[in-house]
Copies of this chain bind each other. A is one copy, B any other.
Amino acid sequence: MKIGQLAQQTGTPVDTIRYYEREGLLPRAARTEGNYRIYDAVHLERLAFIRRCRSLDMTQDEIRVLLRFRDTPSESCEDVNALLDAHIGHVAERIRELQQLETQLQVLRACCEEGRQAAECGILNELSHGGAELTTPAASESHLAATHAGGRQHVPPRQGGGA
């Protein structure tokens, strides 16, 4: 199959598939005479695997490790289990951080109710004279990201699994 079909079947943008190939997550695809990439079931499985991992918010490096184990079925999977534990830790820690953040934000929000003049806005005032102690901005111990996502939306174009 060609790249567009693979994209459809896995709900992955075409650009992303080519990107994974560049990054080495997918092997280089064979080409047709006209230089089109061709894929088979093996590629599809592998890409599906990658996408499931990404939907669990793993990094490429984490995925790379899992792929290595998938490729060497005779090794012990201890490290797989450990990796997953670590990743669960990443998520759990980020949740804790965000919950603290939410509390702080709610406290701050309670400083102003109605539309006052900005000069008297409890929120602006609180942000101005250090209520918080000027710490490093929300730095995770374990590589966990900030709150906002840059425009990384994609909205898959209706995924024809069984329709």
* Interfacial residues, chain A to chain B (CB-CB below 8 A): 10-11, 45, 48-49, 51-57, 59, 66, 69-70, 72-78, 80-81, 84-85, 87-88, 90-92, 94-95, 98-99, 101-102, 104-106, 108-109, 112-113, 115-121, 123-124, 127-128, 130-140, 143-156, 159, 161
Separation of A53 and B124 alpha carbons in the complex (Å): 10
Most buried by B among A117, A118, A154: A118
Partner of A105, one of B56, B99, B133, B153: B56
Q: State the 4 A-B residue pairs at the shortest beta-carbon distance, nearest first.
A: A73-B119, A77-B121, A78-B115, A54-B137
CA A46 – CA B127 in complex, angstroms?
10
- Decide yes or no: A117 and B57 within 8 Å by CB, A95-B95, A149-B144 being known contacts: no
Q: Which residue of B lies closest to A122 (CB)?
A: B77
Contact B156 A136, beta carbon cutoff 8 Å: yes
Q: Told that A55-B132, A74-B117, A91-B101 touch, could you supply 20 new A-B pairs with CB distance under 8 A? A: A10-B134, A51-B134, A52-B130, A52-B131, A53-B127, A55-B138, A56-B132, A66-B124, A76-B116, A76-B117, A77-B120, A77-B124, A81-B109, A81-B115, A91-B102, A94-B147, A135-B156, A136-B154, A139-B149, A144-B148
From B73, B77, B104, B135, give the contact of A11 (CB < 8 A): B135
Shortest CB–CB separation between residue A43 and chain B, in angstroms?
Answer: 14
